Amino acid sequence: MKFTFRVLTTILILSPFWGWSQKIIYPEKDYKELFVYVQMGRVFADNKTFADAVPLSSTDSIGYWYSNYKKISGFRLDTFVKNHFQIRTIAVNNNIEKTQDVVQHIEELWTLLERQPNTQLQPSSLIPLPHEYIVPGGRFQEVYYWDSYFTMLGLQESGKTELIENILDNFAYLIDTYGHIPNGNRSYFLSRSQPPYFSLMVSLLAKQKGENIIVKYLPQLQKEYDYWMDKRSGTSHKVVLRDGSMLNRYWDQKSTPREESFYEDSSLAVGQSNRETLYKNLRSGAESGWDFSTRWFADGENLSTINTTDILPVDLNCLLYNLERTLEKGYSISGNLKKSTAFSQLARRRKRAIEKYFYNTKDGWYYDYILSKKRRSSEKTIAGITPFFFKISHIGKIRKAASIVEKDFLKSGGVVTTLHKSGQQWDAPNGWAPLQWITIEGLNNYKEKELAETIAKRWISLNTKVFENTGKLMEKYNVEDTNLMAGGGEYPSQDGFGWTNGVLLKLIKIYGKQ
């Protein structure tokens, strides 16, 4: 019998489950050559599509058939993938009744964005979770770490306390299973985390259910801290400076192209002398959540000079200060005064280091610190407001900071992320929901209520305007020209959208609709 492409396809369709027992797929490792050819051949415009695909048989059998198919005249890679994988579809909001009431829209979106426990799954890159959770929306059909805190702000206003606790329980499960909360619940995210907001999530739930909630999650809070301080992970998040200060940076554990952006990373590396260093810094930039921004670029302009691991970010260290303070409180409540005292001392030391290494006394703003140059960065970003969000900074510093927010960052639709228009999505003219909330609350903490209200009302107005024009809530917004959509980044702007919904609903409850 002469084998042809059609005959082989028919055989596999009739026998889709040969040897199919693997539960979690690691795309690059398990698909091998096929993965590289699909991603570099742009079978899908978005590399994440194939990384998230569900194989219709075992990876071994797919590899076997691929090795036979590719030798046949007329072989088409896109047809092979279509016949051997289930490709996910992007959820849209068409089933939600169109309404002019943005609050009602968000309340209905929670149901659309909620995912049920998925302990029994077809093999894929998705890591099963034991409880319900919320996904951001669009291409992001898994839970994301730092997104979830800002989503919870809205869930809190919607009275969904049980769902908040379920999401926390999922994160506790991930910490217990993998030693940290990954970027998202995909296998290809396991080499990195995201900005450590777990302690803020715990505190948010504690406001609803009492401070014993902190004790409930105390073991996971400790493991989270151990991960970032390199006590369990074996990575290099922690940096000890000349004076003995311990501060932190972002550091992905791998030095290969990101599976979900394989083509983009591989193409950028062409002609680069040290590809592994480039990949490490791209991955670490993704761990920051700011992927990408000139904040991380050595030359302040080009992605090819990304140098994330050379930078101590001010906001990351404020988050870890908050984690230390939460551990201090948790151990105090549980009666372990020795550990509570130890974390109190760690928090005080970090606070001193934040003031020493990140604060610029000349202009009154907080900047990142560049390790190789032994000086503060010159890149002014809205991350500099974070010490005020965590009440780290002295009240005497707020006037200069508020003036910088108003003069440099405040635009017609809210605060811009950086002062550079680079084409990167975490630069001007874009604004993002989490950074609006941090800025607004940072100002409120120091009685700058008028400026905080101005930012809030401009952001609410912009979100509402886009919603009324499109029926959508977006991942990011153009805050400089509110008639234009936000752009930049490796993928089109997404709608849904978890953290936008959460922050907008919270702000509307505080300031009202515009």
Which 3 state secondary structure label does DSSP give 179? coil
Q: What is the pLDDT of residue 14?
A: 39
Q: What is the pLDDT of residue 117?
A: 92
Structure tokens given for 472: 């959508």
| Residue (of 386, 259, 365) closest to 322 by Cα position | 386
Sorted by sequence, the CB contacts under 8 Å of residue 238 that are 6+ apart come out as: 228, 229, 230, 246, 247, 248
- Beta 430-431 vs 85-86: how paired, if at all? unpaired
Q: What is the pLDDT of residues 365-379, one digit of tens each?
A: 999 999 999 999 999
Sorted by sequence, the CB contacts under 8 Å of residue 351 that are 6+ apart come out as: 321, 392
| Residue (of 509, 488, 492, 514) closest to 430 by Cα position | 488
Give the whole-angstrom CA distance, residue 248 versus residue 477: 30
Structure tokens given for 204: 């948010």
Tally the residues of the chain.
Answer: 514
pLDDT band at 120 (very low <50, low <70, confident <90, very high): low
Catalytic residue among 52, 448, 475, 495: 475
Tally of domains within the chain: 2
Q: Is residue 153 part of a domain?
A: no
Q: What is the pLDDT of residue 2?
A: 44
Q: What is the pLDDT of residues 405-452, one digit of tens each?
A: 999 999 999 999 999 999 999 999 999 999 999 999 999 999 999 999
Give the whole-angstrom CA distance, residue 442 versus residue 435: 10
Taking 70 as the threshold, does the pLDDT of residue 21 lie above it? no
Q: Is residue 457 part of a domain?
A: yes
Q: What is the pLDDT of residues 35-49, one digit of tens each?
A: 999 999 999 999 999
Number of H helices, E strands in the chain: 21, 15
CA separation (Å) from 402 to 13, 364, 389, 450?
Answer: 63, 9, 12, 11
Angle at which helices 433-445 and 498-511 pack, to 10 degrees?
A: 40
Structure tokens given for 454: 């101005």
Q: Is residue 179 part of a domain?
A: no
User: Is 388 in contact with 446 (CB distance < 8 Å)?
Assistant: yes
Taking 60 as the threshold, does the pLDDT of residue 212 lie above it? yes
Q: Is residue 382 part of a domain?
A: no
Q: Which of 86, 103, 124 is the last residue of a domain?
A: 86
More confident residue, 93 or 180: 180
Enclosing domain of residue 51: 5-86
| Residue (of 192, 184, 383, 180) closest to 283 by Cα position | 192
Exposure string for 40-71, b = 16+ CB within 10 A, e = fewer: eeebbebbbbbbbbebbbbbebbeebbeebee
Start-to-end CA span in the chain (Å): 72
Q: Is residue 464 part of a domain?
A: yes
Catalytic residue among 52, 132, 165, 291: 291
CA atoms within 13 A on the CB side of 429: 14
Give the whole-angstrom CA distance, residue 20 versus residue 17: 5
CA separation (Å) from 504 to 161, 260, 308, 461, 512?
Answer: 18, 29, 30, 10, 10
Structure tokens given for 269: 């590396």
Average the pLDDT over each of 155-164, 169-178, 474-483, 484-493 and give the range with the smallest value.
Answer: 484-493
Instruction: Name the percent of the chain lying above pLDDT 90.
Output: 88
Q: 111: exposed, middle or buried (C-beta count within 10 Å: 0-12, 13-18, 19+)?
A: exposed
Q: What is the pLDDT of residue 18?
A: 38
Identify whether 475 is a catalytic site residue. Answer: yes
The Cβ of residue 160 has, within 10 Å, a number of other Cβ atoms equal to 19
Average the pLDDT over each of 23-32, 261-270, 384-393, 478-487 and give the range with the smallest value.
Answer: 478-487
Give the whole-angstrom CA distance, residue 330 versus residue 214: 5
CA separation (Å) from 425 to 420, 421, 481, 487?
Answer: 11, 9, 15, 6
Taking 70 as the threshold, does the pLDDT of residue 129 lie above it? yes
CA 375 to chain centre: 27
Q: Is residue 509 part of a domain?
A: yes
Give the whole-angstrom CA distance, residue 43 versus residue 41: 6
Q: What is the pLDDT of residue 1?
A: 40
H-helix segments, 122-160: 145-157
Identify whether 46 is a catalytic site residue. Answer: no
Q: Is residue 458 part of a domain?
A: yes
- Beta 369-370 vs 375-376: how paired, if at all? antiparallel
Give the whole-angstrom CA distance, residue 252 versus residue 188: 11
Read off the pTM.
0.94
Q: Provide Rg for the chain, Cα atoms.
A: 23
Q: Which of 55, 86, 117 is the last residue of a domain?
A: 86
User: Is 219 in contact with 165 (CB distance < 8 Å)?
Assistant: no
Q: Is residue 145 part of a domain?
A: no
Q: What is the pLDDT of residues 63-118, one digit of tens each?
A: 999 999 999 999 999 999 999 999 987 655 545 555 669 999 999 999 999 999 97
